[in-house]
Amino acid sequence: MDTTVISALIGAVVALIVAIITAIITVRGWQEENRRLIKQQQREAKLEHLKRQIEELYGPLWGLVQQSQIIYDVAVRVLPSENGKVRQSLFDKNDDRHWKVWRFFAETYFLPLHSQKAELINTKSYLLESGQLPESFDQFLKHEAQSGCLYRLWKEQGVSTQGNPDLKFPAEFNQDVKTSLHNLKKEYETLLRYEQGKKASR
């Protein structure tokens, strides 16, 4: 065989190998860039979801919890209480004044605030931290529904609901809201710093 033909064949094979290697490197580079973009989009979607959880559910919910607690502290100061809790069992049995004050707090503050909290939880349940309704949230929703029902029963029908033992406010609710908000803010800030670091290194 002629050396010119052999040289041409070798040149063609080398060119083909170089083209194949270049194509492989290009495809791998494209795949890597595509993976990087997908991960970046996932992080950005996660950041947006965390932001919505904080801004639309847990932030406003925590604000309502704090407002309720401030008002409850006032009720503790003006009504018979023990260990930082209003004790209906200590209300004067011969004088309706304590019940009138308690009903004032309930009607003016607690029922509307609880209703706002329940509305937030019910309409923004897709933003819950774990994707599921925590036990304390479920208990709170039951408490809110029962309280509103029994209050209206008393107010509109005159049926006494004083001292109903089924109306306990779930003790863990306020702390669960605070903890979830703290965790979400921490996760958001960590992811945001990571994302900003990634952009700065490009």
pLDDT at 133: 93
Digit-coded pLDDT (tens) for 76-115:
999 999 999 988 888 888 888 998 998 899 999 999 999 9
Tell me: pLDDT of 1 over 90. no
pTM of structure: 0.79
Tell me: pLDDT of 163 over 80. no
pLDDT at 162: 63
pLDDT at 120: 97
Q: Tell me, what amino acid is at 144?
A: E
pLDDT at 93: 81
pLDDT at 165: 59
Q: What is the DSSP string of 31-98?
A: HHHHHHHHHHHHHHHHHHHHHHIIIIIIHHHHHHHHHHHHHHHHHHHHS-EETTEE-GGGS-TT-THH
The answer to whether the CB of 180 falls within 8 A of the CB of 127 is no
Q: Is 47 exposed, middle or buried (0-12, 13-18, 19+ CB in 10 A)?
A: middle
CA distance 60 to 68: 12
